[in-house]
Amino acid sequence: MNAIQVHEPGPADSMKLEEVPIPVPASGEVLVRVTAAGVNFIDVYHRNGLYPIPERPYRIGMEGAGIVESTGPDVTGFKPGEKVAWAMVRGSYAEYAMVPAAKLVVVPDEVETATAAQMMLQGMTAHYLTRSTFRLKEGDTCLVHAAAGGAGLMIVQMAKIAGARVIGTVGSDYKAEQAKSAGADEIILYRSQDFVEEVKKLTEGRGVDVVYDGVGKTTFEGSLNCLRPRGMMVLFGASSGPVPKFDLQMLNQKGSLFITRPTLAHYCLTREELMERARDIFQWKIERKLQVFADRSYPLADAPQAHKDLERRKTSGKLTLTMS
């Protein structure tokens, strides 16, 4: 089979398409013929070494969907030919993926396999951010950075399902239209507007209840300045780079703020929690409450170009790799 492998962390071109043996599922494992793999910033962090991986070479890709090929001897609940999807299991940039059965979910008939691959990681991320980390409710106001990105568009929609008011930041008029179509109430063009000043105007000086920030370095301090007293800063990514070290006393000075750096793995600690989140996002998709904004797809061999486009902010919405 063909798979993308990284021999040493580095730029996008450090990913190589190589032929490797098709694995055989062991106890608790399911071999899946991959239909599509989602492209996410966590893949970039694995590729460039920000999130170190010890083995050499190693594979990347934390999200995908496909068809069950075979199962390990003790696996129940999955059968060959069944549509399945997963997130937070590394190795999706390949024609076949080995997935622990505990991390795998069956895709409903009403949801296409490729669509499932576009929803799992960012959909469940948006779910835990808006339903668990800071549980939004009617009357809350949130600030969503990169509101036209794959995760941002999911967060915007789930915030609106919860009844919250959404202020989004984007970098262009086109992305502003994308975020508005997802339900954002107000848009800030961060290249030409000071987002802190605009947030204060839009909230009459109060500030927002929560900031969902997947950008990191370039937005971090401004995000803290957008919060109301006792508001929460949710830093869930670092697309612009890691945030600098800061004095915790700053949280006191800015209004007894809360800050958290969550990750999806800690919000899907049990099979029940994983299934609850997956059920919700699939059901919202079936009910047309949740839309997948797919930007473009690339053949597996073009994974380096997909990463370059993602890192250069040339995309709006979800990127996927498709298998031949």
Kindly report, residue by residue over 195-232, the tens digit of the pLDDT: 999 999 999 999 999 999 999 999 999 999 999 999 99
Contact status, residue 70 vs residue 25, Cβ threshold 8 Å: yes
Can you give the pLDDT at residue 242?
87
Phi (first) and psi of residue 142, to 5 degrees: -125, 150
What is the rounded distance in angstroms from the CA atom of residue 19 to the CA atom of residue 3?
6
Cβ-Cβ contacts under 8 Å for 181 (sequence gap 6 or more): none
Place of tokens 């990463």: 307
pLDDT for res 312? 87
Q: Is the dihedral of CA 26, 29, 34, 38 positive or negative?
A: negative
Residue 317: pLDDT band by 50, 70, 90 thresholds? Answer: confident
SS3 280: helix
Counting Cβ atoms within 10 Å, is residue 41 exposed (0-12), middle (13-18) or buried (19+)?
buried
Where in the chain does DSSP place strands (E)?
2-6, 15-19, 29-39, 58-59, 63-71, 83-87, 96-100, 104-106, 141-144, 165-170, 186-189, 208-213, 227-235, 258-260, 294-299, 318-322
Predicted confidence (pLDDT) per residue in 59-115, tens digit:
999 999 999 999 999 999 999 999 999 999 999 999 999 999 999 999 999 999 999
Question: 152-193: per-residue pLDDT in tens?
Answer: 999 999 999 999 999 999 999 999 999 999 999 999 999 999
What's the confidence (pLDDT) of residue 233?
98
Report pLDDT digits (tens) over 122-156.
Answer: 999 999 999 999 999 999 999 999 999 889 999 99
CA pair distance 311, 239, nearest whole angstrom: 8
Taking each continuous run of H as one helix and of E as one strand, the counts in the chain are 9, 16
Better-predicted residue by pLDDT, 106 or 246 = 106
- The alpha-helical segments, DSSP class H, found in 40-137 are 41-48, 113-128
Question: Domains (ranges, CATH) in the chain?
Answer: 2-121+271-322 (3.90.180.10), 138-261 (3.40.50.720)
